[in-house]
Amino acid sequence: MTSSPAFPAAHEFHMSLRVADLARSAAFYTAFFGLPPKDRTARYSTFIVPQLHLNLVLLVNDRGEALDTYSLYHLGLGVAGKAEVIAAYHAAVAAGAEIVKPPRTTWRGTPLHELWLRDPSGYLLEVYARLTDAELAQMPADQEHVFLLD
């Protein structure tokens, strides 16, 4: 069997999304990442998020074509723990984000604390934290999700 050469280690992850309303989306991601865009023009806003090694460009939908928010299933943001998932929920509500699934702990598949929301263009975002060993030990017998807020 022939081995393939190793792919170079990534220094940064770059992604570009077309958005329906650039100002609204930039405000949303400013709140989501906790930092303003590095660069901003009438056509785009660029976010450099060092702790994620992320370069995200929001590009205005200047062709007038329908945005396909279905094909890109979701973007995920892993955070440190349950408290951060709950904090993300409060920040998302304050930013006016649509909450798709409120903060909860799920046990099926990959056990996670998770929050699902939509950005202003309709892209689905998941904020999640992997469970600690102590949290995994608390899994209910029925494995039904548990909401983190009343």
Domain with CATH 3.30.720.120 in the chain: 9-65
Please give the torsion angle defined by the CA atoms of residues 79, 82, 84 and 90, in that order, rounded to the nearest 10 degrees.
Answer: 130
pLDDT value of residue 2:
67
129 confidence band (pLDDT: 50, 70, 90): very high
What pTM was estimated for this model as a whole?
Answer: 0.81
70 pLDDT more than 80: no
> Which residues of the chain form CATH 3.10.180.10?
68-150
pLDDT at 146 over 90: yes
DSSP secondary structure, 93-128, as one string:
HHTTPEEEEEEEEE-SSS-EEEEEEE-TT--EEEEE
pLDDT in tens, 7-29: 677 788 999 999 999 999 999 99
Least reliable range by pLDDT among 4-8, 54-58, 66-70: 4-8
b/e 58-94 (16+ beta carbons within 10 angstroms → b): bebeeeeeeeebeeeeeeebebeebebbbebbeebee
Taking the domain 68-150, which CATH number applies? 3.10.180.10
Amino acid (one-letter) located at 136: L
Residue partners of 119: CB distance under 8 A and separation at least 6:
19, 25, 28, 29, 32, 97, 125
Residue for token pair 């976010």: 47
Token duo for residue 142: 């029925």
Say which CATH topology domain 9-65 has: 3.30.720
Strands 54-60 and 44-49: antiparallel
Residues 73-91: what's their mean pLDDT?
Answer: 92
